[in-house]
């Protein structure tokens, strides 16, 4: 009987803990699932790291770069209907892990791989993931994210490095830096995206210093 009472008490405490956690704002919890995140009316794009919601709070410069890349891919895909591109789409990279998701700044999926339901978090990895590394972001943290993407089947990852105005192209075969024209012939044949278009409208630090000195 004592054992039964002890078990009942433990179960009651567990239920109370669950209720208490659920009463907290979702951004203060550490037990959020992807299913919950998907249904929650989020104020900003977010990713899920081991049950913790991490909001993406881009600067205006970040948003401009994101829009420029999305627009360039959109123009390309109008003439080359090989898939769809989108911004801040959430992906369930870990089907077996219910408390993690990733949302690239821009992503692309080939037409033949598109799931039927595009209104849900996608249960696959994109073919292309684009992440914008702002000056305050951690390069080491971004590289861990690159490894996650490649491990789960992303073919190409573009890391846009704002401070040096270059793009680090990452694949399973290696990484290389691009400073002039971005291409991806194995995935986006015929695409030529000058980096000047990616950073269009944003002045460089050197040009700002020049203007200030004049």
CATH code for the domain of 130: 3.90.1570.10
Q: Taking 90 as the threshold, does the pLDDT of residue 83 lie above it? A: yes
Question: Does residue 96 lie within any of the structural domains?
Answer: yes
- How many helices and strands (H and E) does the chain possess? 6, 10
pLDDT value of residue 212: 41
Question: Does residue 131 lie within any of the structural domains?
Answer: yes
pLDDT value of residue 6: 52
Render pLDDT for 154-171 as a digit per residue (tens, 0 to 9).
999 999 999 999 999 999
Question: Does residue 100 lie within any of the structural domains?
Answer: yes
Q: Taking 90 as the threshold, does the pLDDT of residue 117 lie above it? A: yes
Other Cβ atoms within 10 Å of 167 Cβ, number = 23
Q: Which residue has the tokens 């989108």?
A: 86
pLDDT value of residue 17: 45
If asked whether residues 72 and 176 sit together in one domain, one would say yes
Q: Taking 70 as the threshold, does the pLDDT of residue 4 lie above it? A: no
3-state secondary structure (DSSP) of residue 57: coil
Question: Does residue 4 lie within any of the structural domains?
Answer: yes
If asked whether residues 13 and 80 sit together in one domain, one would say no
Question: Does residue 55 lie within any of the structural domains?
Answer: no
Question: Does residue 159 lie within any of the structural domains?
Answer: yes
Lowest mean pLDDT among 7-16, 93-102, 119-128: 7-16
What is the rounded average pLDDT of the residues 33-55? Answer: 94
Per-residue pLDDT band at 3 (split at 50, 70, 90) = low
If asked whether residues 116 and 11 sit together in one domain, one would say no
> Which of the pair, 21 or 78, is modelled with greater confidence?
78
pLDDT value of residue 80: 98
Per-residue pLDDT band at 109 (split at 50, 70, 90) = very high
If asked whether residues 22 and 116 sit together in one domain, one would say no
Q: Which residue has the tokens 């911004």?
A: 87
Cα separation values, 152 from 137, 173, 184, Å: 23, 15, 19
Percent of the chain beyond pLDDT 70? 85
pLDDT value of residue 23: 81
Tokens in use for 42?
Answer: 């989020």
Q: Which domain holds residue 177?
A: 60-204
Q: What is the value of pTM for the model shown? A: 0.84
pLDDT value of residue 1: 52
If asked whether residues 90 and 182 sit together in one domain, one would say yes
Helices (H), 45-189: 60-79, 139-151
């Amino acid at each position: 009987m004592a054992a039964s009472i002890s078990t009942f008490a433990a179960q009651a405490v567990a239920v109370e803990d669950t209720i208490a956690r659920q009463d907290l704002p979702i951004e203060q919890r550490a037990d959020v699932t992807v299913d919950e995140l998907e249904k929650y009316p989020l104020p900003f794009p977010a990713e899920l790291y081991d049950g913790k919601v991490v909001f993406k709070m881009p600067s205006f410069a970040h948003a401009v770069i994101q829009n420029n890349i999305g627009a360039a891919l959109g123009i390309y895909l109008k003439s080359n209907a090989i898939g769809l591109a989108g911004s801040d789409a959430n992906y369930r990279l870990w089907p077996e892990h219910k408390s993690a998701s990733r949302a690239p700044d821009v992503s692309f999926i080939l037409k033949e791989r598109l799931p039927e339901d595009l209104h849900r978090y996608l249960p696959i990895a994109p073919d292309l993931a684009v992440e914008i590394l702002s000056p305050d972001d951690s390069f080491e943290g971004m590289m861990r994210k690159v490894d996650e993407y490649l491990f789960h089947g992303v073919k190409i990852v573009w890391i846009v490095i704002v401070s040096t105005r270059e793009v680090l192209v990452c694949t399973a075969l290696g990484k290389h830096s691009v400073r002039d024209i971005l291409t991806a012939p194995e995935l986006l044949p015929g695409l030529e995206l000058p980096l000047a278009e990616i950073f269009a409208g944003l002045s460089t630090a050197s040009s700002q210093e020049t203007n200030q000195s004049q």
